[in-house]
Amino acid sequence: MGIGGIGMSALARYFKLNGCEVAGYDRTPSDITNQLTDLGIAIHFEDNIELFPGSWTLENTLIIVTPAIPADLKELNELKSRGFELLKRSQVLGLLTRDKTGIAVAGTHGKTSVSTMCGHIMHRSKQGCSAFLGGIANNYNSNLLLSENDSENVVVEADEFDRSFLQLYPHYAAITSMDADHLDIYETHENLLEAFHQFIQQIDAGGVLINKKGLPVDKSRNQEITYRTYSLKEEADYYTQNLQITEDGFTFDLVTPNGRIENLNLPYPGWINVENSVVASALALEAGVGEEELRAALTDYQGVKRRFQLKLKNEKHVLIDDYAHHPEELRVTITSVKEMYAGRKVTGVFQPHLYSRTNDFAVEFAESLSLLDELILLDIYPARELPMEGVTSEIIFDKVKLLKKQLIVKEQLTDVINNGDWDVVLMMGAGDIDRLVAPVKTILENSDKDVE
């Protein structure tokens, strides 16, 4: 139920590839549901119980449900009334990884990029791994990696939403950030921090936690594990030195508790991705990956779809697509783009995600978006939420301190792009803004031809 979601689709792939009969419901078709259909998974897009496979029985069928599914969905309630076993995605992920060596990446942002990079490093090494990822890894065009050598290692994204990560009991874990978010679930930042500490308590005795230096981690909450820190440049257990920008990414030395690994190459842009590579490398090294295996894996890493993904680059235009949907993520992404393209006009197209998040962080969103040269702000993507009175994108827009800004609905975006003068365009958001990237790219490419 909600099979097109990034976490749900990874589970669907897993069960299908392990010989189960799999079917699913989602609201709308997407690239992901098309890929699942190609695997032989039956998917329907109408809330109609008659479309559910009639041959399935209570005894042999498990229903997996995403929190994004509305509680009043007829099909869901019919399945409940018939007595089918229903589990949340997080519960199933916990069951699948319970007897494995878990490598879990938590954090209010950064976890998808770090878990994907770590999964790639582990998968390329003799250690091997399976991985359930929160994004589509470009190296594999998938959000699921299956071990090729029966490895017990499993890399997972540990999602704090709905306290999902409390279903996990990893041996190795990382925390990238603990900023206030999901206040519709947690109500206060303090409650969110408490959930992170409950997650820390669930790390195996003898395990390792690697957290970003400066995070408010209370080591007394689990005294049976080793604590490590990481940083981009600041001295920590893991950090970089001799960091240099190259034509397609970066080179750097990685300082570790056991010495220095020199002249690593990461062919992927954005300062944040160097920081992500530090913690991903740290996890992999702690889990037994060798230095040369690490070097080889970083060299051919191709990133994650919608994570600082370069969609177009020529002399006239640059188009970058990014999943950023929290004020801190916006700040980091915008700052990285402005540093990479210093002196050029950076226009941000942002689609706010959730009424509650917009309401909670309107001031912070406006501060981050004010770092742009120009802003195109779209209407809110509601996801699982009903509208909140008085909450629209306007409460962000009014606070943005830019002379060049416009507030539009998403259906207007292609016309706006068609009639404007653009240089570097940065598209950001966790909703359905990704479906507008291809049309925007086409317009920019055609305008390049017109100039020629």
Q: Is the pLDDT of residue 452 over 50?
A: no
Of 184-193, 261-270, 371-380, 430-439, least confident by mean pLDDT is 184-193
Rounded to whole angstroms, the Cα distance separating 334 from 23 reads 40
49-82 confidence digits (pLDDT tens): 888 887 788 999 999 999 888 888 999 999 999 9
Select from 299, 322, 356 the last residue of a domain: 299
Please check whether residues 157 and 48 belong to one and the same domain.
Answer: no
CB burial string 8-44: b at 16+ within 10 A, e below: bbbbbbbbbeeeeebbbbbeeebebbebbeeeebebb
Select from 234, 265, 299 the last residue of a domain: 299
> Which pLDDT does position 288 carry in this prediction?
97
Please check whether residues 107 and 191 belong to one and the same domain.
Answer: yes
> Which pLDDT does position 449 carry in this prediction?
64
> Which pLDDT does position 347 carry in this prediction?
98
Stated length of the chain: 452
Q: Is the pLDDT of residue 349 over 80?
A: yes
Residue 434, classed as helix, strand or coil, is helix
pTM score of the predicted model: 0.84
Of 12-16, 54-58, 328-332, least confident by mean pLDDT is 54-58
Q: Which residues contact 368 (CB under 8 A, 6 or more apart)?
A: 327, 328, 330, 331, 334
Please check whether residues 275 and 366 belong to one and the same domain.
Answer: no
Please check whether residues 23 and 158 belong to one and the same domain.
Answer: no
Q: Which helix (H) or strand (E) holds 264?
A: strand 259-266
Find tokens 């998974």 and name the residue.
41
Range of the domain at 24: 6-88
Please check whether residues 343 and 386 belong to one and the same domain.
Answer: yes
- The total number of structural domains that make up the chain: 3
Q: Is the pLDDT of residue 186 over 90?
A: no
Average pLDDT, the chain: 93
Please check whether residues 104 and 169 belong to one and the same domain.
Answer: yes
pLDDT range class, residue 437, cuts 50, 70, 90? very high
Please check whether residues 233 and 320 belong to one and the same domain.
Answer: no
Distance of CA 45 to the CA centre of its chain: 25
What six digits make up the tokens of 298? 């970083």
**Residue 1 within any structural domain of the chain:** no
Q: What CATH number has the domain bearing residue 60?
A: 3.40.50.720
**Residue 304 within any structural domain of the chain:** no
Please check whether residues 280 and 409 belong to one and the same domain.
Answer: no
- Rounded to an integer, the average pLDDT of 79-90 is 92
8 A C-beta contact, residue 122 and residue 129: yes
Distance of CA 216 to the CA centre of its chain: 22
**Residue 93 within any structural domain of the chain:** no
pLDDT range class, residue 230, cuts 50, 70, 90? very high
Please check whether residues 325 and 228 belong to one and the same domain.
Answer: no
Q: What CATH number has the domain bearing residue 434?
A: 3.90.190.20
Q: Is the pLDDT of residue 451 over 60?
A: no
Please check whether residues 295 and 440 belong to one and the same domain.
Answer: no
Q: What CATH number has the domain bearing residue 171?
A: 3.40.1190.10
β-pairing, 62-65 vs 85-88, is parallel
Please check whether residues 337 and 411 belong to one and the same domain.
Answer: yes
Select from 247, 277, 299 the last residue of a domain: 299
Is residue 220 classed exposed, middle or buried when 0-12, 13-18 and 19+ CB atoms within 10 A define those classes? Answer: exposed
Please check whether residues 116 and 208 belong to one and the same domain.
Answer: yes
- Rounded to an integer, the average pLDDT of 193-215 is 97
